C-alpha cells in the first residue's frame, strides 16, 4: 500500500527514483543468479578430466539437482515473505537477503563439494529473502489504480534481464573457458555491486518497504489488524487460480536452463563463421529479446486497453502461456532435424527463445503487478512469496520433464509441452470472465487514468 508520502517522491522519466534503485539491485542479483544458472548444469555434466573438469554427472542426475535447486530457490520466498510481513519489513529483508547471497556465491568459488552444497543452500536462503520483497517494494512505489504500475514493473523486469543477458555471456564464457569456479566467483562479485548500490540508494526508499507493524499510518494499522473482507478473500482466490498458469508456464519455460541448455551443447550445430558459439550463450537470447521487446509489448497492451479491447492482467497471462507454448514447436522441429541429419540448426533455438520471451513479457511482469493490485496489504509479501513458490514448483516440474527426455526423447517432450500449454491456456480463457468478476473491479479505473494520460499528452496546454 502506498501512502501519500510515497506519491511525493522525486521522479525520473515519469517514475519514482526508488524504482531505479530497485532496478539496479535486481539487475545485479539476477546477474549473479542467472550467471550461476547458465553454467550449473554444464558444470555438473562436464567430464572430470581436462583443464576445466566438471563433476561428471549424468544428464538425468544433473537435471534432477537443477530441478530441486531452482524449486527451493523460489519456495524459500514464502518464509522470506513471512519474515518481511511479520518481523523485518521488505526493505531490511532485501538487505539481509543480499548479504546472504554474496556469501553463497563467494563460497561456490571454492573447489570443494562441501562448498558447492553450502553455496547452493545460502543462495536459496538469500533469494528467498530478496526476491519476493523487492518485487513488492516496486508495487509500493505506486498508489492504487496508478496506470504507471504495470509500466514500472516492465522497466523493473528489463533490469532483471539486462543482468541475465550480461551474465549469460560473461559468466558463461568465464565458466566454460577459464574455469567453472571462476564463473561462480564472478557471479558473487556482481551481487556485491548490487548490494552496495542498494545501501547507497536508501534515501530514495524511505517511504516504501518499511515494517507495517510499526507504522504510524492509521489506514495501514487498521489493514494489518482487521480480518480479511469478502472482497479481499475473493481476490486471493483469483490469485491462487492464476498461480496455476504460473506453474505451467515456468514448468515449460525453465527447460531453458536444463534440457534446452543440454540440447544446445550436445545436439546443435553451433559453428558460426568457423567459430563455435558457447552453449551457455544461448541463455542470453531470452534476456536480449526482453531488453529490445519489453517496452513494445507493454505499449501494445496499453494501446489495446485504450481502445476498449480486452487487456486485463489475467487475459495477458493466458495469452502469454499460449505464445510461450507455441515456441516449443520450434524445438520439435529442431529435434526432428537432429534425428534426420545428426545436428540441428541454431535458428530453431533462436525462434523458440523469441516466442518464449514474448510469452514471458505477457505473464511474468504482469503477474508481479497483478499481485500488488489484489493482495491484502497485511499479506503483501507473503502472497508475492507464494507466487515465487509457484514459480519454484514450475522449476521442479521443468526438471522432471527434462529428466523424462532420456526415456521419451526430446521430440516427444518438446511437442508434449507445446500441446499442453496451448490447450491449458485455451481452457482457462473460457473461464476468464467468471474469474475476473471475483477481482471486484481492481483494474476498472486503469483505463480512465490511461485515457486522461493520453489526453494530457495530446494537449500540453492542460498542464500549463
Residues 186 and 105 in one domain: yes
Query: Average pLDDT of 218-237?
Result: 79
Residues 298 and 348 in one domain: yes
- pLDDT greater than 90 at residue 125: yes
Residues 317 and 173 in one domain: no
Task: Give CA–CA dist 28/31, Å, rounded.
Answer: 5
CATH number of the domain bearing residue 355: 1.20.1250.20
Residues 159 and 305 in one domain: no
Residues 167 and 72 in one domain: yes
Residues 247 and 185 in one domain: no
Identify the band that residue 91 occupies on the pLDDT scale cut at 50, 70 and 90: very high
Residues 189 and 338 in one domain: no
In tens, the pLDDT along 155-205 reads 888 888 888 788 878 888 898 888 888 888 888 898 999 999 999 999 889
Whether 458 is in a domain gets the answer no
pLDDT at 2: 43
Higher-pLDDT residue of 37 and 98 is: 98
Whether 403 is in a domain gets the answer yes
In tens, the pLDDT along 315-336 reads 999 999 999 999 999 999 999 9
Query: Average pLDDT of 447-463?
Result: 46
Query: Average pLDDT of 272-293?
Result: 85
Whether 415 is in a domain gets the answer yes
Residues 331 and 380 in one domain: yes
Whether 82 is in a domain gets the answer yes
Identify the band that residue 218 occupies on the pLDDT scale cut at 50, 70 and 90: low
Whether 407 is in a domain gets the answer yes
Whether 59 is in a domain gets the answer yes
Identify the band that residue 458 occupies on the pLDDT scale cut at 50, 70 and 90: very low
Residues 199 and 309 in one domain: no
Residues 195 and 253 in one domain: no
Whether 152 is in a domain gets the answer yes
pLDDT at 100: 96
pLDDT at 442: 79
pTM metric for this prediction: 0.76
Overall domain count for the chain? 2
pLDDT at 69: 87
pLDDT at 446: 55
Query: Average pLDDT of 26-43?
Result: 86
pLDDT at 353: 94
Residues 368 and 418 in one domain: yes
Residues 245 and 150 in one domain: no
Whether 4 is in a domain gets the answer no
pLDDT at 337: 94
Owning domain of residue 54: 18-211
Amino acid at each position: 500500500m502506498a501512502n501519500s508520502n510515497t506519491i511525493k517522491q522525486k521522479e525520473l522519466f515519469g517514475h519514482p527514483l526508488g524504482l531505479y534503485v530497485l532496478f539496479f539491485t535486481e539487475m545485479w542479483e539476477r546477474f549473479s543468479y542467472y550467471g550461476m544458472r547458465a553454467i550449473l548444469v554444464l558444470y555438473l555434466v562436464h567430464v572430470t578430466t581436462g583443464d576445466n573438469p566438471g563433476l561428471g554427472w549424468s544428464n538425468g542426475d544433473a537435471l534432477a539437482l537443477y530441478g530441486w535447486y531452482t524449486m527451493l530457490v523460489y519456495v524459500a520466498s514464502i518464509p522470506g515473505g513471512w519474515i518481511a510481513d511479520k518481523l523485518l519489513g521488505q526493505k531490511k529483508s532485501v538487505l539481509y537477503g543480499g548479504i546472504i547471497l554474496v556469501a553463497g556465491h563467494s563460497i561456490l568459488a571454492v573447489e570443494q563439494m562441501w562448498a558447492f552444497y553450502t553455496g547452493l543452500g545460502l543462495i536459496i536462503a538469500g533469494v528467498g529473502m530478496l526476491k519476493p520483497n523487492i518485487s513488492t517494494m516496486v508495487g509500493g512505489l505506486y498508489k492504487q489504480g496508478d496506470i504507471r504500475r504495470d509500466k514500472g514493473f516492465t522497466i523493473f523486469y528489463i533490469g532483471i534481464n539486462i543482468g541475465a543477458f550480461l551474465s549469460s555471456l560473461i559468466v558463461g564464457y568465464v565458466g566454460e573457458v577459464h574455469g567453472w569456479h571462476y564463473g561462480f566467483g564472478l557471479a558473487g562479485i556482481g551481487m556485491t555491486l548490487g548490494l552496495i548500490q542498494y545501501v547507497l540508494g536508501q534515501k530514495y526508499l524511505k517511504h516504501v518497504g518499511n515494517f507495517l507493524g510499526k507504522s504510524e499510518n492509521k489506514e495501514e494499522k487498521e489493514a494489518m489488524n482487521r480480518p480479511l473482507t469478502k472482497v479481499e478473500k475473493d481476490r486471493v482466490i483469483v490469485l491462487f487460480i492464476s498461480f496455476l498458469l504460473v506453474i505451467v508456464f515456468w514448468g515449460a519455460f525453465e527447460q531453458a536452463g536444463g534440457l534446452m541448455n543440454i540440447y544446445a551443447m550436445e545436439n546443435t550445430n553451433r559453428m558460426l563463421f568457423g567459430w563455435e558459439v558457447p552453449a551457455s550463450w544461448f541463455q542470453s537470447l531470452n534476456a536480449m529479446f526482453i531488453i529490445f521487446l519489453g517496452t513494445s509489448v507493454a505499449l501494445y497492451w496499453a494501446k489495446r486497453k485504450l481502445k476498449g479491447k480486452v487487456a486485463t492482467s489475467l487475459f495477458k497471462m493466458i495469452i502469454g502461456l499460449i505464445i510461450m507454448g507455441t515456441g516449443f514447436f520450434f524445438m520439435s522441429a529442431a529435434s526432428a532435424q537432429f534425428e534426420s541429419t545428426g545436428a540441428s540448426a541454431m535458428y530453431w533455438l533462436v525462434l523458440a527463445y523469441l516466442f518464449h520471451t514474448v510469452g514471458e513479457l505477457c505473464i511474468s511482469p504482469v503477474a508481479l503487478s497483478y499481485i500488488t493490485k489484489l493482495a491484502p496489504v497485511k499479506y503483501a509479501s507473503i502472497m508475492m512469496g507464494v507466487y515465487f513458490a509457484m514459480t519454484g514448483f514450475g522449476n521442479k516440474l521443468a526438471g522432471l520433464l527434462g529428466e523424462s527426455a532420456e526415456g521419451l526423447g526430446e521430440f516427444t517432450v518438446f511437442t508434449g509441452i507445446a500441446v499442453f500449454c496451448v490447450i491449458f491456456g485455451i481452457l482457462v480463457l473460457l473461464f476468464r470472465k467468471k474469474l475476473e468478476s471475483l477481482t471486484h473491479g481492481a483494474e476498472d479505473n486503469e483505463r480512465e487514468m490511461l485515457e486522461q494520460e493520453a489526453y494530457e499528452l495530446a494537449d500540453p496546454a492542460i498542464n500549463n
